[in-house]
Amino acid sequence: MPQLIAPDVRVHSSFLAAMDEARAEGHGGPDDSTAGLSLRAYGDTWQDPAVFAEYVARLRLTHGPRSILDYDVPCTTLWYVDGDTYLGRLAIRHTLTEAWLRDGHIGYDVRPGARRRGHATAMLRAALPLAARLGVDPALITCDTGNTASRRVIEACGGVRDDAAGDDGVLRYRAPTAHGSHTGRTLPTVGKE
């Protein structure tokens, strides 16, 4: 049964296959997702088990791989796996700075070969209580305006559109993270005044 875990070297082979799928889809550019930026930074060096082990160790740090992404906030990275099969990754940013308002508290990617099977919804649903334990409630979760699949995932996990969002091509949602509770905190407003 698929589950969120801390990054683990046991999925090395499957992770490499997932990155090949991501490359084939055109990922790895400078404005790409977290997985794409990691792909650009590491490329084929992940083939070396020692390099992969170092990458995994760095991901397990609360701040993530600072040489890949300049996280200026604490961040927990988790992988979604089924046994030894890597299915995707999820990042929970514990706090947000102005720079992170576009991406929100939680970001996720499902490998191309595992999409349309409910993995993104299951990952996000499993991450919300983890975010609550990290003090995030509500969670800001975003997606590009044209990303219908991600919009459906966020809404299926309780995300409510933030009508105050700007016109920057990003939809912003607030999702309660603690079952049956909501702190009542409001999220920072982004966009035109």
CATH number (domain holding residue 110): 3.40.630.30
Q: Looking at the domain assignment, is residue 88 inside a domain?
A: yes
Q: Looking at the domain assignment, is residue 25 inside a domain?
A: yes
Q: Looking at the domain assignment, is residue 184 inside a domain?
A: no
Q: Looking at the domain assignment, is residue 66 inside a domain?
A: yes
What is the mean predicted confidence (pLDDT) over 134-149? 93
Q: Chain-wide mean pLDDT for the chain?
A: 84
Of 23-32, 61-70, 148-157, 171-180, which one has max mean pLDDT?
A: 148-157
Total structural domains within the chain: 1
Specify the pLDDT at position 183: 41
Cβ neighbors of 94 (< 8 A, separation 6 or more) are 62, 73, 74, 75, 76, 105, 134, 135, 136
Q: Looking at the domain assignment, is residue 44 inside a domain?
A: yes
What is the mean predicted confidence (pLDDT) over 3-13? 96
Angle subtended by helix axes 49-59 and 12-24, to nearest 10: 90
Q: Looking at the domain assignment, is residue 190 inside a domain?
A: no
What is the mean predicted confidence (pLDDT) over 63-67? 51
What is the mean predicted confidence (pLDDT) over 101-129? 94
- Which carries the bigger pLDDT value, residue 71 or residue 14? 14
- pLDDT above 90 as % of the chain: 59
Q: Looking at the domain assignment, is residue 185 inside a domain?
A: no
Q: Looking at the domain assignment, is residue 189 inside a domain?
A: no
User: Sorting pLDDT into bands at 50, 70 and 90, what band is 67?
Assistant: very low
d(CA 86, CA 14): 5
Q: Is the pLDDT of residue 184 over 90?
A: no
What is the mean predicted confidence (pLDDT) over 39-63? 88
Domain containing residue 137: 3-175
Specify the pLDDT at position 64: 54
User: Sorting pLDDT into bands at 50, 70 and 90, what band is 178?
Assistant: confident
Q: Is the pLDDT of residue 150 over 50?
A: yes
Specify the pLDDT at position 35: 67
Would you say how long the chain is, in residues?
Answer: 193
Q: What CA–CA distances, in Å, run from 42 to 37, 65, 151, 163, 172?
A: 9, 11, 30, 39, 31
**C-beta neighbour count of 188 within 10 angstroms:** 12
User: Sorting pLDDT into bands at 50, 70 and 90, what band is 179?
Assistant: low
Measured CA angle at 43 (ends 74, 75), to 5 deg: 5
